[in-house]
Amino acid sequence: MAKLLTQLKIVNRVHVFRAEFRMTQEQLAKEIGVTRATIVAIEGERYNPSLELAFRIARYFATDINTLFWVEGETE
């Protein structure tokens, strides 16, 4: 079993889902109970949400976490 000694690069497509739902960052933030700055940071891949927040976002968009977030370089 390989050891994971390096930080994983988590990528996401939150902005894609938000655009499909025709929502602003502010609207999504209000719906899931965070600030717009949090959405900006998540979409810019400067912040990885907690597991709870990732589930909240996925539930809001009626999808699973693996559709929204994955490790760069790994199969989706």
What are the tens digits of pLDDT across the range 54-64? 999 999 999 99
Q: List, for residues 31-44, the tens digit of each pLDDT value.
A: 999 999 999 999 99
pTM for the model stands at: 0.85
Q: Is residue 47 part of a domain?
A: yes
Confidence bin at 72 (pLDDT 50/70/90): confident
pLDDT of residue 33: 97
Residue 39 resides in a domain: yes
Number of domains composing the chain: 1
**Does the pLDDT of residue 4 top 80, yes or no?**
no
Token look-up 């109970």 returns 33
Q: What percent of the chain has pLDDT over 70?
A: 91
Query: Domain of 57: which CATH number?
Result: 1.10.260.40
Query: Does residue 4 form part of some domain?
Result: no
Q: Which domain holds residue 56?
A: 10-67
Q: Is residue 51 part of a domain?
A: yes
Query: For residue 16, is it within any domain?
Result: yes
Q: Is residue 76 part of a domain?
A: no
